[in-house]
A and B are shown apart, each in its own frame.
Chain A
Amino acid sequence: MDLALIPDGGLAWLEASGPLAHVVLSTRIRLARNLERAVFAGRASAEQRRRVLKAVDGAWPRCASARGGVRILLDELDGGEREVLHERHLVSKELMASADGRPGHSASAVFLAGPMGVMVNEEDHLRLQTLHSGFALQPAYAALDRLDGELGAVLPFAFHREFGYLTACPTNAGTGLRASVLIHLPGLVLTKEISKVLQGLAQVGLTFRGLYGEGSEVVGNFFQLSNQTTLGKSEEELLDHLGKIVRQVVEYEEQARQVLVRDAPTIIEDKVWRAYGLLRHARSLSFEESMNLLSGVRLGVGLKLIPGLSVYTLNKLLIFTQPAHLAALEARFPNDSELRATRAAYVRRSLDQEAAQA
């Protein structure tokens, strides 16, 4: 399977056209679904997993939402290619692990069409997901709900009258819905207000994670805010609640940025331009350093301090400066110092091109 065949590379959301794109990078929603009378993927035999994949294989082409889509079998990919999909947020760590643990016969797969995808044989039989640019909970859910309806009309989903959709882990039961908004909060971090905001989230039933979801660290001031509970509230209520809180956090962030510009304009301007200068000229960059510098530059673009640089370019840099993407540029897998040099060269080239166009 050539990853170049994926429509838009699965990266349409990078275009930064969505609402509040200067603060909110992306909106992602996933629905956990399982098939009736089939052992959950974690406990299933190779044959049982194969049968689940076959069932989805049969259902997928009959979904209108899946038109022009592709199927990718993890068993047919090498480690580097799987990492590339993970870095694009198309494949979860758990799906990679399910394939690693059953070399050659995992039947772990991802189906992709436009902004939507279905992971098969992850922790649940199906994980429907979609990734949209900016703050877009309603359109993202409308699209995913459609795919859910189409798949559910053909596949018998496990559903309980009282508990709703049944999932391998009870933390996902009910709606099976997890909505996450990836949000950039340098203003709140710099003004040291961030811990208050994060503590407040737990009190309103929300949770935060790092860039790669569950168990990942926060880098570059990017936070993923998502709902904690999935049962007892309707999909609309869960999305409404998350949406309200996100809007509030965006407002706090904007206030914090105004305070920074009002009280410490020189410091902020210096910080932003230093970050830009380093990215434009450095010869070696670690992933963490580039993420932090990109955060500074993104703040500068948001405050209109750095002209002629698009959020789209910054979004692309977030994805393409990750290790597996850089390794894919090289003929062989580079060592750490080579990787840092390749990263710095890639960043320089991108920013030079952008400056030439401006």
Chain B
Amino acid sequence: MQCENCREREAVIHLTQIVNNSVTTMHLCEPCAAEKGVETGSTVAKFPLGDFLASLGKGGSEPAGEAGLDVPCPACGATLRDFRQTGRLGCADCYAAFEPHLRDLLRRLHGSTRHEGESYRAGVVPVDRLAAPVPAGVVAQGRALDDLKEALRRAIEAENFELAAELRDRIRVLE
């Protein structure tokens, strides 16, 4: 079906609207839909993971073609073919190994590739030292932190958000 707006591209978005009690349906291509301010949420929903996985390696925009499917992640050995079969990546490094594919996929799934949430500073203690006893200084600081966190919890419960914001800042400094 042709896009009703530009009459050039294939219509991929079928927008049903109810205006003044009458139902209208518009058939649009992606750029025209975006131009008309159609929420990315609905575009996102049109690209479920399964479709993307099925289209992997079927030529088209796929840069490496079928051959690229068997290039393993250097860290865990998982391939894009494995990903296509299971829908799961092998390890965190797969994100770097298959970055162009995943950037594309993330944009389709979420409408964005940029994390806007809380940022994370890598763990202070390496995994292999976890069993070791915690040094005394760390414990004391840990307690002060615990108290602040408890105060933060109470502030949030009491909906005292100003105090909560201040406490959160102090916790960040300690952490």
Residue-by-residue, is A132-176 near B (CB-CB < 8 Å gives 1, otherwise 0)?
A: 000000110011011001001111111111111110111101110
> Is the pair B122, A156 in contact by a Cβ cutoff of 8 Å?
yes
- A40 with B115: CB separation less than 8 A: no
Q: Are B116 and A237 in contact (CB under 8 A)?
A: yes
Q: Does A354 touch B at the CB level, under 8 Å?
A: no
A residues in contact with B120, CB < 8 Å: 152, 157, 159, 165
Contact of A163 among B42, B106, B126, B130 (CB under 8 A): B106
- Say how far B113's CB is from chain A's closest CB, in angstroms: 6
Residues of B within 8 A of A233 (CB): 112, 116-117
Q: Which of B97-153 contact A (CB under 8 A)?
A: 102, 105-106, 109-120, 122-127, 130-131, 134, 142, 145-146, 149-150, 152-153
Bitwise, A100-128 to B at CB < 8 A (1) or not (0) is 00000000000000000000000100000
* Bound Cα distance A202, B45 (Å): 7
User: Cβ of B123 and Cβ of A175 under 8 Å apart?
Assistant: no
Which residue of the partner chain, among B41, B92, B157, contacts A158 with CB atoms under 8 Å? Answer: B92
Among the listed A40, A62, A165, which residue makes an inter-chain contact with B89, where contact means beta carbons less than 8 Å apart? A40
Q: How far is the CA of A53 from the CA of B102 in the complex (A)?
A: 28
In the complex, the answer to whether B127 meets A163 with C-beta atoms within 8 Å is no
User: Which of A31-39, A77-85, A317-325 forms contacts with chain B?
Assistant: A31-39
Q: Looking at B45, B117, B171, which has the most chain A CB atoms within 10 Å of its CB?
A: B117
Q: Are A174 and B115 in contact (CB under 8 A)?
A: yes
User: Cα distance A106–B166 when bound, in Å?
Assistant: 43
Task: List chain A residues, Cβ under 8 A from B149.
Answer: 64, 146
Q: Check B117–A38 contact: CB distance below 8 A.
A: no
Q: Are A229 and B110 in contact (CB under 8 A)?
A: yes
Closest to A42 in B: B88
Q: Report chain B residues within 8 Å CB of A177.
A: 117
Residues of A within 8 Å of B119, CB to CB, are 159
In whole angstroms, what is the CA distance A64 to B49 when docked? 38
Given the known inter-chain contacts A42-B86, A170-B106, please indicate yes or no for A164 contacting B117, CB distance below 8 A.
Answer: yes
Nearest CB of chain A from residue B56's CB, rounded to whole Å: 12
| Residues B102 and A204 in contact, CB atoms below 8 Å apart | no
The interface residues of chain A lying within 8 Å CB-to-CB of B117 are 164, 174-175, 177, 233-235, 238
Binding site for B on A (CB under 8 A): 34-40, 42-43, 51, 54-55, 58-59, 62, 64, 123, 138-139, 142-143, 145-146, 149, 152-166, 168-171, 173-175, 177, 202-205, 228-235, 237-238
Query: Chain B: residues with CB nearer than 8 A to chain A?
Result: 39-42, 44-45, 49, 75-76, 78, 86-93, 95, 102, 105-106, 109-120, 122-127, 130-131, 134, 142, 145-146, 149-150, 152-153, 156-157, 171, 175
